[in-house]
Chains A and B, each alone.
Chain A
Amino acid sequence: DVKVTQSSRYLVKRTGEKVFLECVQDMDHENMFWYRQDPGLGLRLIYFSYDVKMKEKGDIPEGYSVSREKKERFSLILESASTNQTSMYLCASSLLPGASYNEQFFGPGTRLTVL
């Protein structure tokens, strides 16, 4: 079974804090993705990575950065958390970059609240 795990299910942080969200996949997938999910806005891609140390901006990268030092791990970083970053964050992985017929496997999500 493909497994994508996220470090926390719930997280509460203060405005201005640096926040790390960790994601690990155990299927040797090349691609990894970070999305945020908000009611009425669906899944919006923040960043993705198709290889170690490679990253590509998604549709809403402002205020976020990412790190992929190892193939199985993809971290999302909020350099200075703001209240408008309160959201559900979902990590996903898929097998091959550049191929469209790629099932994405999602983690359970981290609900982040920034106070």
Chain B
Amino acid sequence: QQQVKQSPQSLIVQKGGISIINCAYENTAFDYFPWYQQFPGKGPALLIAIRPDVSEKKEGRFTISFNKSAKQFSLHIMDSQPGDSATYFCAASGEGGSTLGRLYFGRGTQLTVWP
């Protein structure tokens, strides 16, 4: 079954608006939650990541909000720009031999920011 569920599948936002992408997980052993950004023709690249000991992490216009009790986390892009148009993947990982450092990815959100 899918370990990380991501929504929405696609998102259209006006320039200057806020983009919000949500993810949920079930496995309480997960302790690392990164977001990857993928531009057309490129491989995904790490954008920002959070560990469950904090509820929020901000890097520039990008913020992860994390709700441990609800097992949910979200990416907020403030003042969205056309250059942010990309596919965004949430992911989760847990330490230990059973996962061996693999990431479990959501299905992705295609973000389009209109000028």
Contacts and interface: CB of A to CB of B under 8 A. Distances in A.
B25 interface: no
Main SS at interface, chain B: loop
Interface in B100-115: 100-103, 105-108
Given A42-B108, A99-B95, 19 more contacts: A4-B43, A31-B100, A31-B101, A33-B102, A40-B9, A40-B107, A43-B44, A90-B44, A92-B43, A94-B101, A98-B95, A98-B96, A100-B30, A100-B32, A101-B51, A101-B95, A105-B45, A108-B43, A109-B41
Given A42-B106, A42-B107, A99-B95, A56 B46 contact: no
A50 interface: yes
Contact of B102 (A4, A41, A48, A103): A48
Contacts of B97: 98
Interface in A61-115: 90, 92, 94, 96-109
Contacts of B41: 108-109
Nearest to B41: A108
Interface of A: 4, 31, 33, 40-45, 48, 50, 56, 58, 90, 92, 94, 96-109
Question: 9 shortest A-B CB distances, which residue pairs?
Answer: A106-B43, A42-B107, A100-B32, A100-B93, A100-B95, A43-B105, A42-B108, A102-B101, A103-B46
Contacts of A48: 100, 102
B102 A106 contact: no
A50 B89 contact: no
A98 B105 CA distance: 17
